[in-house]
Amino acid sequence: MLNSAEGILLCVVTSEAVLGVLGDTFIALVNCMDYAKNRKLSKIGLILIGLSISRIGVVWIIILQGYIQVFVPHMLTSGNITEYITYIWIFLNHLSVWFATNLNILYFLKIANFSNSIFFWLKRRMSAVFIFMSGCLLTSWLLCFPQITKILQDSTMHQGNTSLFHQRKNYFLINQSVNNLGILFFIIVSMITCFLLIVFLWRHVKQMHSDVSGFRVHSTKVHVKAMKFLVSFMILFILHFVGLSIEVLCFILPQNKLLFITGLTATCLYPCGHSIILILGNKQLKQASLKAMQHLKCCETKSQSHINGFTNK
């Protein structure tokens, strides 16, 4: 049974997961509808669709593994459940982080403007950058999958042997940590591009601060808002991997449910918060969300009017 603190945190985690799935589903639907309407999809639209779909899968895996760990932890010590979850997790998590990194790179190369030869070289060869990132993703998978296959085979050979599982637990955790190092490159690139974009926007705001014209004031507000979104993304991104580290640590401390659910809460903040940031920061998504809210409000008003009319009769 869960105590009150654990129950509250688990409700928070579930709410975060639901909001994250709804937000990512909305982002994917808007971009898919835009493609169906215009028969053309921008690079940002393609990345947003891939990011949303992969992140929905990541959220489901996080929640599935979390609920199993909290309510039926013995399932993790029998059969191949943990190994299969890890197998799917590595595929989806690498893909999700790869899409997020590409999105940051795209925004950085489109918005920023540094007087640096390397930056101009990258800006002129944007397609080559994405090809290189795709190669990094494939290399990461190729390095991880053979090791995961070995873990699956070892687990199948010793299936049902609980004592041996506990003896090999540390070995499994080490392998899991090594496998997840494959996304370390993407994390570093994502953080660097975000930081450099924040630096550029900050310098740009300082340069425009002396000009008090209406256009410049509005432009300054837009830049400051963009910086807030970027800082929020970096915080959520870091908390996501801190939460994952706590979850992995709790694998060897299965009785510490409060710590595990706390890590789960931090992990789920990113998919929920980043989808909200993307909707508020993207003009097309923001307009679509406002239209959807207005439509829901009208439907609610009509429904309430029907109920009141029925009651008066």
Mean pLDDT of 230-257: 84
* CA 264 – CA 12 distance, rounded (Å): 10
Confidence of residue 293 (pLDDT cuts 50, 70, 90): confident
Q: Flag the least confident range among 50-54, 132-136, 212-216.
A: 212-216
**Mean pLDDT score of the chain:** 81
**Tokens read off for 307:** 């109920």
Spatial contact of 266 and 260, defined as CB atoms under 8 Å apart: no
Spatial contact of 109 and 47, defined as CB atoms under 8 Å apart: no
Could you please state the CATH topology (level 3) that the domain comprising 4-287 is classified under.
Rhopdopsin 7-helix transmembrane proteins (1.20.1070)
Question: Which three-class secondary structure state does DSSP give residue 35?
Answer: helix
Closest by CA to 19, choosing from 297, 287, 279, 295, is 279
Q: Is it the case that residue 260 has pLDDT exceeding 50?
A: yes
Dihedral angle computed from the Cα positions of residues 266, 8, 61 and 26, in that order, rounded to the nearest 10 degrees: -80
Which residue's structure tokens are 């009769």? 313
247 Cβ contact partners less than 8 Å away, ≥ 6 residues apart:
65, 66, 69, 260, 263, 264, 267
pLDDT of 120 reads 85
The pLDDT > 90 percentage for the chain reads 32
Spatial contact of 246 and 263, defined as CB atoms under 8 Å apart: yes
* CA 81 – CA 87 distance, rounded (Å): 10
Question: Which three-class secondary structure state does DSSP give residue 255?
Answer: coil
The pLDDT > 70 percentage for the chain reads 77
pLDDT of 238 reads 92
* CA 224 – CA 272 distance, rounded (Å): 22
pLDDT of 85 reads 79
Spatial contact of 99 and 51, defined as CB atoms under 8 Å apart: yes
Question: Which three-class secondary structure state does DSSP give residue 178?
Answer: helix
* CA 99 – CA 233 distance, rounded (Å): 14
pLDDT of 244 reads 85
Q: Flag the least confident range among 98-112, 145-159, 224-238, 255-269.
A: 145-159
* CA 143 – CA 46 distance, rounded (Å): 26
pLDDT of 164 reads 47
pLDDT of 265 reads 92
Mean pLDDT of 216-229: 76
pTM for this prediction: 0.86
Spatial contact of 58 and 249, defined as CB atoms under 8 Å apart: no
Whole-number Cα distances in Å, 169 to 7, 77, 150? 28, 9, 15
102 Cβ contact partners less than 8 Å away, ≥ 6 residues apart:
47, 130, 133
Mean pLDDT of 290-305: 75
Instruction: Report the half-sphere exposure of 27 (CA within 13 A, side-chain side).
Output: 31
Where in the chain are the domains?
4-287
pLDDT of 43 reads 87
Spatial contact of 129 and 105, defined as CB atoms under 8 Å apart: yes
269 Cβ contact partners less than 8 Å away, ≥ 6 residues apart:
16, 236, 239, 240, 243
* CA 102 – CA 155 distance, rounded (Å): 35
Whole-number Cα distances in Å, 157 to 150, 151, 154, 164, 199? 11, 10, 5, 11, 53
Q: Is it the case that residue 188 has pLDDT exceeding 60?
A: yes
Question: Which three-class secondary structure state does DSSP give residue 41?
Answer: coil
Per-residue pLDDT tens digits for 4-52: 888 899 999 999 999 999 999 999 999 999 888 888 888 889 999 999 9
